[in-house]
Structure 1
Amino acid sequence: MGKGAIKFIILIAVLTFVSLGFTSKKEANVLKNNIEIHNTTSKLVTVLPYGEATSEEAPIPYVGNKYLGFKEAVAFKESQGNYFVVNTFGYLGKYQFGRGTLEMIGIYNPQAFLQNPKLQEKAFEANASRNKWILRRDIKRSVGKRMNGILVTESGILAAAHLAGPGSVKKYLRSGGSQGFADAYGSTVRHYMKKFAGYDVSSIKADKKAKA
């Protein structure tokens, strides 16, 4: 074997070793977040692999068509109702909250949040109240209409806002459904509006300053 060939093999070996020793910045941040949670949580934490939290096949248990049924249906879709779960992108708890959303409703300690089911329930209600206030005009204008073959309901709008944020839902509604949104797992505003249609969420009060 010639000297040139030997140098080429050595170069390939070095590059392979270096590439295996690094992860992307995004992967590193997710890993860091999950390690922090595991090290500071006294309860067992399950880390959901990609796609598990939003399985399209799992049937959602029916617990009535009022607020309780609505929130439990959303919870089952997000985490199968597990308070102590973290997905691969660092979303937390039964309702899979991101840290930015938690801060908007007054929660600044995600590790403590993950260990506190009562706080998680308060967080869901506060976030729904805040989203209802932001989308109040769009709810009034859009409920009862059909977009992309889906009947628009208030519960569908609020579920979609939990998934995508109220801004994305507002764009979807005001564009007549032409400006869509899909999360990292492929769940869309349209899918959530269809899946969570028809619940009575009148007990959720619109509140601009809702806190958990």
Structure 2
Amino acid sequence: MVKNIAKCLGLTLTICVLVYASLSSNEAVDLSKYSTNGLVLNYTVRQDAIHTGKVKASKEGYESFSPYLGKSFVGFKEALAFKESGGDYFTVNTYGYLGKYQFGKGTLSLIGVKNVEKFLNNPKLQEQAFIANAQRNKWILRRDINNFVGKRVNGVVITESGILAAAHLAGPGSVKKYLRSYGLDNFADGYGTTIANYMKRFSGYDTSFLKANKKAKVSSI
């Protein structure tokens, strides 16, 4: 019995010595094997999605652009708004274009908006205006959507979302000229942004939500 106790004490003492030695070691841990040098690192936000300007906080609880909406319809309209205004409902640019989606007064009149001051201060009305204008443009461009989607113009595969984004930029008439000239008549806005640029930048989004509507108007709020 005494002999067994002695063996147990000896084993316990040996373990304690080994643990103490390992804990008291001053040897540095070599972390070089964990280096990320040479690895290709992937990020969730593309470099061309970074906006250098500041986005103002929006009123009434509306949120600004999110880069995680993918190719959904909401992703389409928010990406377009981010390009137009940085997502700011209350801005007016140097050419007098208004709000989050940068509407001109003439376009607003076509979809039933007469009071631009009310429009600029009403985010709900701006969202309605975007939908109504896109539906109207889809009706005007319905034949061109049928004829050109899937074809290449200026090296870019034409998609419905690209056509609708370009119509928002330049108007449906200019988009017709662009497509039917196979890219030779390439409208540019006052800042140098072209139809071709919008066709490429906003290609491949799901705009099936939008129904072509010749008489699309905003509803009263």
The 8 Å contact of residues 79 and 94 in structure 1, kept in 2 or not, is answered as: yes
CA distance in 2, matches of 1:146, 1:201: 19
Aligned residue among 170, 173, 178 for 2:184? 178
| Aligned residues between the structures | 157
Aligned residue among 155, 160, 164 for 1:158? 164
Matched, 1:208 2:218: no
Task: Name the residue aligned to 2:26.
Answer: none
Matched, 1:128 2:134: yes
CA distance in 2, matches of 1:80, 1:88: 15
Aligned residue among 128, 138, 142 for 2:148? 142
Shift of 1:63: 1.4
Aligned residue among 39, 42, 50 for 1:59? 50
Matched, 1:110 2:135: no
Aligned residue among 175, 178, 182 for 1:169? 175
CA distance in 1, matches of 2:49, 2:209: 28
Matched, 1:198 2:204: yes
The 8 Å contact of residues 62 and 73 in structure 1, kept in 2 or not, is answered as: no
Q: Which has the higher helix share?
A: 1
Query: Radius of gyration: which is bigger?
Result: 2
Alignment gaps of 5+ in structure 2: 1-46, 52-66
Larger RCO of the pair (alpha carbons < 8 Å, separation 6+): 1
Structure 2 counterpart SS, 1:83: coil
Residue deviations 1:78-136 (CA, integer Å, cap 9, x gap)? 00100000001110000000000000000000000000000000000000000000000
Residue deviations 1:116-160 (CA, integer Å, cap 9, x gap)? 000000000000000000000000000000011111000000000
Shift of 1:62: 4.0
Counterpart code for 1:205: K
Matched ranges for 1:5-154 at <5 A? 59=50, 61-154=67-160
Cα distance change, pair 184–131 in 1 and its aligned pair in 2 (3 A): same
CA distance in 2, matches of 1:139, 1:120: 25
TM-score in terms of structure 1 length: 0.72
CA distance in 1, matches of 2:212, 2:171: 15
Task: Name the residue aligned to 2:23.
Answer: none
Matched, 1:187 2:193: yes
> Identity of aligned pairs, percent?
69
RMSD (Å) for aligned C-alpha atoms: 1.3
CA distance in 2, matches of 1:186, 1:62: 28
Shift of 1:58: 5.3
Alignment gaps of 5+ in structure 1: 1-55
CA distance in 1, matches of 2:115, 2:152: 40
Shift of 1:59: 2.9
Shift of 1:64: 2.1
